Structure 1
Amino acid sequence: MLATADPVMLFTAIRAAQEDLGRRVDRRGAQVTPEEPVVIDLQRFTANLKTAWKAGEVRPTHKRSYRRTKPYPKRPTMLGPYEAQIWSWLEAEPTLSAAVVLQRLMNVDQTRFTNKSLRTCRWQ
């Protein structure tokens, strides 16, 4: 059977199956009625092969773009209540390092800022 198979017809059938698969993936989860099988037009397919490579030939089974399904709430930052204080320190001393800022925040609120926080910005 393989010896008598037409390679162009096999290639056309593969592309039609890829297109069908791409449509099914895009409809995933949606309640839709099944479509009729794809009719293969060999003349149109072979005529398209001459120029498909120029356009990059994007196949329908290529990965679709990511769509976020639901918004995730942003967590509040632990520096939020102290942002005005930090900005005033940085305006007074623009060369202030992150370690010094965290050291000052540890002096302001020892319960929220600890040595563990300070270790995250030191190069030791």
Structure 2
Amino acid sequence: MGAFDMLRIANTSLGFHQTWLDALANNIANINTAQPTSGNAFQAQMVMAKARPDGGVDVGGIAYSDPQGRVVNDPENAVADAQGNVRMPEIDLASEMSQLVMAQRGFQASVQVTKDAQDTYSSALQIGRA
């Protein structure tokens, strides 16, 4: 595998991990978003990976959580119905945080591969100049 291949694969990984990080950040930011029981709850996004034939990775799609969410009694909430219920998203903060760590580590690994490939190119250019 050449350094250009490493850069191409690392670039696809950076794109995938950035999309995953964005989705997780959006899910975490909306974990306490209440909706009226007459509507749908915030739907968490789950990014699906798809392997590429050339060794890279693409976003294979985005899956969404159940729009029904969970009904919670919160009579003080501005959008509560007559019984004091609101619809909350079905998001587990512990799971989202664990995935966030994995996505960050994957992004960091892709950045390191890119740096290593650049160092390899720089070294090859220095040898060629001598």
TM-score normalised over the length of structure 2 = 0.24
Greater relative contact order structure (CA < 8 Å, 6+ sep): 2
Structure with max Cα Rg: 1
Q: TM-score under structure 1 normalisation?
A: 0.25
